Structure 1
Amino acid sequence: MSGGGYDVVVDVDEEGDLGHTDLQEDLEFHSSNFTADHAQSARKSPGGTGLPLPATAGSGSQKRLLWTLSFYAQFFDVDTNAVLSRCWAALYPRANFLDVLEGNPDLYGPFWIATTVVFILFLGGTISQYLAREVGARFAYDFTLLSGAAGLIYGYTVVIPTVLFLVLKYFGSESANLLECCALYGYSNLIWIPVALISWSNLTLLNWVFVGIGFGWSVAFLLRNLYPVLSATDRKTSKALLIIVVCLHAGLAITIKWLFFAHQSLVKADDPVPAAGGDAATKLFF
């Protein structure tokens, strides 16, 4: 009866004799608020603990609009331990990186990794230019290296996975996820940090070796994790996409080499050192 919204009240005489109870006279039906009370208690205490709901309990049902901060905040909802474990998984890939993400890809790690790569490329390129300057010449900082590094790294990390995601959707892939693609490319940039730190010397062959190691390490990481997604398309398309991914990543590595570490060569012919009062056009200003 309680399920129908009624409570049963039985009127018992002093002797406790139920045998002569008149159901018509002794049974009274009252409206019950059991259902409402139960619903209210469920809202206040999940699991019947009597504790109030957490502040984020209702966030799943709230709409996040594209122009609100809460929409973008959800992509940075990750703690330091998770970011460090993902960085380690990117440098030493033992398991599929998409499994490491556990369905919660973030943009926090990719953003700071890309930012670190930008500044280290600028630093390494500046040191490379300084070492390659003519003896006795003054050195001028080239801040176009900073803007070039930002455009290259940020552009590659955002544009390439976005285009790849759209292409996969066009070919009917249901497993493609934009955030996972961005996270995958973002964490793959991690290898360029040690490469940029050691590629500033003016030994051409050594720099090519360092950049080649960075390319091989990062492209292997990308192919290992992108292959299950790309293979969801037909065989011809997946093979073409794999080749395009490798070529674009090779283009990134070559661009990094020539833009930031091309001022080298201890084997080049010695240039004459300009005289103290020589042509002003040959001088570099600090």
Structure 2
Amino acid sequence: MSGAGYDAVVDIDDEGDLGHTDLQEDLEFHNSNFSETAPNARKGGSAASGLPLPATASTSSGGGKRFLWTLSFYAQFFDVDTSSVLSRCWAALYPRANFLDVLDGNPDLYGPFWIATTVVLILFLGGTISDYLAATGKEAFAYDFRLLSGAAGLIYGYTFVIPVALYLALRYFGSESANLLECWALYGYANLIWIPVALISWSPYALLNWIFVAIGFGMSVAFLLRNLYPVLSATDRQTSKVLLILVLALHLGLSIAIKVLFFAHGSPAIPDAPPAEGPGAGPI
């Protein structure tokens, strides 16, 4: 019984006759102190047993520090598996819960980076196809890689610069719940809707393209406002309204830029592009 944390005490009759001992009455159990013989072993944990600490364990020692010039510092922002990224993508397209709850305290840059990269490539391909359809039968078509650099500047700039500005504004106005990684994650996953929009918005019909871009804008801005509102509301009422309007205006500007620069025949991004002709076609 000592292994279970108890001592067994048996009272024996004066005549030494164990046969008449009433075990129900004569057995007494006392708390054992065997578990207290090695208090340092409990506190030491895996270190006391000789096992190394988990790789993800945070320590206060010098070995646990991560510096800006080390890969481990940036690796922590990409510490997410494929299933988590896919579930976050699904939650961004079909938001049923607050996205910050989906992140579960582990925002990542893996999803936002690859989503932004995919959007850049598809915008370039979509804009190229759109311009090719406009130039077909008129003159020899040549690829314009200014579309690629323009898409990269627009998407990467919006995805990674705007959240920094928003984070600094929130901290300036006293929001303690603002988190830069969460802002990056929100804006990065909000871009996901532009992938299907870019895939179907290369048609020569301007009105149809406007409808597709409007749907993309509505879904992405609803996602942003829904998840940013609890953070923005941590500031005073007037400030939160101004910040919400700025978020809305900047996202509207992104949507219009995507439509005009990449899904418009005769786009300003391609100065020499010939205007389109035909029903429903136009400069924008």
By the TM > 0.5 criterion, same fold? yes
- How many residues of Structure 1 are paired with residues of Structure 2 in the alignment? 233
Match of 2:104 among 102, 105, 113: 102
Instruction: Choose 258-267 or 210-219, whichever is displaced more.
Output: 258-267
Deviations 1:21-63 (A, max 9, x none): xxxxxxxxxxxxxx9x8647864736x8x57234516553311
Alignment match, 2:261: 259
Contact 2:204 2:280 in 1 (8 A): no
Cα distance in 1 for partners of 2:223, 2:280 equals: 36
- 1:89–1:97 Cα contact (<8 Å) kept: yes
Q: Of residues 216, 227, 236 in structure 1, which corresponds to 2:238? A: 236
Of residues 185, 188, 192, the one that matches 1:186 is 188
Is structure 2 residue 59 aligned with structure 1 residue 52? no
User: Structure 1 counterpart of 2:164, which letter?
Assistant: T
Change (3 A) 1:265 1:91: farther
Residues 69-106 of structure 1, C-alpha deviation per residue, up to 9 Å, x if partnerless?
Answer: 11110000000011000000000000000000001000
User: In structure 2, what is the Cα distance between the partners aligned to 1:193 and 1:269?
Assistant: 23
Instruction: Look up the match of 2:155.
Output: 153
Identity %: 73
Cα 1:102–1:266 shift into 2, 3 Å:
same
1:118 aligned to 2:130? no
Cα distance, 1:269–1:254 mapped onto 2, change above 3 Å: closer
Q: Partner letter of residue 237 of structure 2?
A: R
Give the Cα–Cα distance (whole angstroms) in 2 for the partners of residues 57 and 40 of structure 1.
22
8 Å CA contact 2:107, 2:182 repeated in 1: yes
- Which of residues 168, 180, 195 in structure 1 aligns to 2:197? 195
Q: TM-score, normalised by structure 1?
A: 0.76
Return the match for 1:91 from 90, 93, 103. 93
CA distance in 2, matches of 1:265, 1:177: 49
Instruction: Give the corresponding residue for 1:76.
Output: 78
Q: CA RMSD in A?
A: 2.3
Deviation readout 1:194-238 (Å, 9 max, x if unpaired):
000000011000000000000000000000000000011111110
Cα distance in 2 between the residues matched to 1:192 and 1:269: 22
Which runs of no fewer than 5 residues in structure 1 stay unpaired?
1-34, 271-286
CA contact (8 A) 2:205 2:280 kept: no
Q: Which runs of 5+ in 2 are unaligned?
A: 1-35, 266-275
Instruction: Report if the CA contact (8 A) 1:43-1:53 is conserved.
Output: no
Look at both structures and tell me which one has the larger radius of gyration over its CA atoms.
1
**TM-score normalized by structure 2?**
0.77
